Structure 1
Amino acid sequence: MANGPISVQVAWLPKTSRIIQQLWVIPREELSSVQKLKKILISPPEISYSDIQYILNYIQPENFFDFRHNHQFESKIAGIVGMPYVLSAQSGTAALHLALKVLGVKTGDTVLCQSMTFVASANPILYERANPVFIDSEPETLNMDPELLEKAIQELFKKGIKPAAIIYVHTFGTPGNADEVMRIGRQYGIPIIEDAAEALGSYYDNTPAGNFGDISVFSFNINKIISTGGGGALCSKNKKYVEKARFLANQAKEQRQHYEHCELGYNYQLNPFAAILGKAQLPKLKHRAEKKRELHRFYFDLFKNLKNIKLIGESHKSRSNFWVNAVIFENYDTYNSMVSLFEAFGVEVKPLWKPMHMQPLYKSYMHYLNGVSENAYRLGLFLPSGSSMTKAQRDQIEYIIKKL
């Protein structure tokens, strides 16, 4: 085998990238010294052997249908979030769909939704054949821009359209200007679904994320700060909302001795063994959130003197769990250089979410833009953000960034 330098090309870089023609050349000895380390993932599963042992303690036939574990898990979530009524669900998407159903969203209704988000925030709107209106982001945290939100509402009101709901997402786990969004919702009489899928363990103005909306939803997907392998939760201070959601999640089965169904329901209940895993995970939330905050400080120190790279942070009222860290570059050259180096050294990075108003599925729907989300998508990257990141992995990342 030759001992010369290695050229690196990354397939998913933009076609306009100069790096496609001008590849990074990395000394072979540098590459081999880090290839011994495992690939560093953006958001790796955080399920320990103790979690598995906890589940094994319950491997008995009677536990396969024992929803007491779900109720215990729900009670623990309620204590963390400060919402008295909680339903555990099959996924965060299922919880969001149930939230729309509970609020009575129907065919032809209008639902305001953040554009810079994962597609699961928007898809349930189409499940109900409603019409999404997408709102762009403010630049500090990439959360929904309250000024654009209010502008959209005012223009819709002039057309005789009152939105049925606002889906407000805590982007990357960081609450944005939550009190202003809540004020707008109250002022115009529009219920707010707080999409806190990524934000368990985050706070805004000393209040837990998930405590603000008329209904809030969480995700416990495999990549979240707390995982049930796949799952979610719906929370509210309104008991009737959660009771209705629980009814719909169990195939809308009426309280009869026989099987009776008067309306359309769903198979959205969380598996009891997923709830058992959730019970094992929840005590680790505070520690993991602090570890993620430490990692954010690590990135802040690395990037603070690089004027052409911006690390997305938190507002002065927020305390984020920093579920995932994101950076935005000023130009393609730096962006592409970073991608090539990270990929060559076995570090996973990915572009930020493509905004909903740019997606083929959603580009024909109404949107209110300021350019923030499009710029973030084109020049932004997700960085490794696992709370279990080792010192050796941090050293590897630091080495790569300093090469810039």
Structure 2
Amino acid sequence: MPRIFLSPPHMGTDEAAFVTEAFDTNWVAPVGPHVDAFEAEFAEYVGAKHAVALSSGTAALHLALRDHGIGPGDKVLVSDLTFCASVNPILYEGGTPVFVDSERESWNVDPNLVEDAFRARASGGNQFKAFVPVHLYGQTVDMDPIVSLCEQYGVTIIEDAAEALGATYKGKSPGIFGRAGIFSFNGNKIITTSGGGMLVTDRSETAQHVKKMATQARDQAPHYEHSEIGFNYRLSNLLAGVGRGQLRVLDERVDARRAVFDAYVDALGDLPGVEFMPEAPWGRNTRWLTCLTLQPDAFGATPEEVRLALEAVNAEARPVWKPMHLQPIYKDYEFIGGDVSSDLFARGLCLPSGSSMSPADIARVVDTVASTHHAIA
């Protein structure tokens, strides 16, 4: 049986033409017309004034934090239920992450816990310098209370929207509610440039500084002059061409992934012990990945048993993100909250969710999950 990947790339019809154009015009260097066009088109899509195309979402977050001046002694609040790339850039700059738990309505960060954390810091006179809310699995954080709290306590928002391109929060794109927002075009994302990312901001000074830092922080001079540390983080013109083609089909990809999710819910939603990731009332989830939780006593199998059953039929599934406070590398950092993120990890599973899945692919996954339940229950 052919492999069913968790979230493979899905190419459209324009990507190859844009890449061919780059070859035909010899614009294969790190910058070029496709980079400029991709930035402009992306900024327009999400509703930001500026966009800077970078080599990864991690690079975008790193430069956003550096532009804000994060350094040793600065504490940064960050969602606990996420991938390590949301946290590592804080450590790159010598900052200290503090993890905050999820709420069950969206699986995203709990605004009530954020308020508790801000209030406790305010009383001690050592407020967080930034907050990195992570929009998880294609669903946005409830941003209104977050924005209000950050304004009240003077905390800067840098949004990690790596998993949520195409989602909406009250009709708006994620990534535009704070100082900067970051997106990822990794190969498993809803659209891809094979590897790449984007930083968006309404601050022209941030966009200019990030662009400078991403090109080795070269100063304006005919020779190579450097007055600050820089990085080699710019996206290539070739990959930007891929991104332009992918952006044109983004809305179709969202619709396709939501259709995959709906098919799973229709086929598996009534099984005992199965609960799919809810869609929060404040926006539209892209269903980048279809995620569910299992109650083993009711379902008759653990998430790991289901994952192995899917692997046996050559279908890739993965556990929900392991919370940051449970990661060995972060075990000594502060965690605020209870057991929501750890429970979602313990009982969660991500099913194959690609926008190019065929009805036969979906049926193979559905039949395997259902038969696992019947075989063990």
What interval of TM-score do these two structures reach, taking the shorter chain for normalisation?
Answer: over 0.9
Equivalent-residue separation in structure 2 for 1:264 and 1:300 (angstroms): 50
**SS of equivalent residue, structure 1 residue 199:** coil
State the partner residue of 2:349: 381
Tell me the residue number matched to 1:42.
Answer: 6
Alignment of 1:58-73 (within 5 A): 58-60=22-24, 62-65=26-29, 66-73=31-38
Matched residues in 2 for 1:252 and 1:53: separation?
32
Aligned to 1:125: 90
Q: Deviations over 1:45-75 (max 9, x none)?
A: 2235753344123214730225222110000
Given that 1:138 and 1:145 are in contact with CA atoms closer than 8 Å, whether structure 2 keeps it comes out as yes
TM-score scaled by length of structure 1: 0.88
The residue number in structure 2 matching 1:75 is: 40
Once the two structures are TM-superposed, the CA of residue 106 in structure 1 deviates from its matched residue by 1.2
By how many angstroms is 1:83 displaced?
A: 0.1
- 2:15: which partner in 1? 51
Kindly tell me the number of residue pairs found equivalent between the two proteins: 368
Secondary structure of residue in 2 paired with 1:101: helix
SS at match of 1:185: helix
Distance 2:352 2:272 in 1: 21
Matches within 5 A, 1:283-322: 283-322=248-287
Q: Measure the CA separation in 2 of the matches of 1:400 and 1:222.
A: 26
Aligned-pair CA distance for 1:314: 1.4
Give the secondary structure class of the aligned counterpart of 2:133: strand
Q: Find the aligned partners of 2:25 and 2:50 in 1 and give their Cα distance.
A: 29
2:312 is equivalent to residue 344 of structure 1 = yes
Deviations 1:188-212 (A, max 9, x none): 1111011110111110111112222
Pair 257,54 (structure 1): closer, same or farther in 2 beyond 3 Å: closer
RMSD (Å), alpha carbons: 1.5
Q: Structure 1: how far apart are the matches of 2:27 and 2:93? A: 34
In structure 1, what is the equivalent of residue 301 of structure 2?
Answer: 334
TM-score by length of 2: 0.94
Aligned to 1:268: 233
CA distance in 1 between counterparts of 2:181 and 2:28 reads 28
1:241 pairs with one of 189, 206, 218: 206
Q: Distance in 2 between matches of 1:241 and 1:58?
A: 28
Q: Percent identity?
A: 37
Within 1, Cα distance between the matches of 2:265 and 2:326?
30
Superposed CA deviations along residues 141-175 of structure 1, whole A, max 9, x for unmatched, are 21001111111111122222111100011001111
8 A Cα contact 2:107 2:136, kept in partner: yes
Q: Does 2:335 match 1:367?
A: yes
Letter in 1 for 2:328: P
Checking the alignment, whether the CA contact within 8 Å between 1:303 and 1:310 is kept in structure 2 is: no
Q: Which has the greater radius of gyration?
A: 1
Deviations 1:214-265, CA, capped at 9 Å, x for gaps: 2100001111111111000110111111111111111111111111001111
- Residues 1:325 and 2:272 are matched in the alignment: no
Decide which of 148, 162, 171 is 2:113's aligned counterpart. 148
- Take 2:40 and 2:135, find their aligned partners in 1: how far apart are those partners? 23
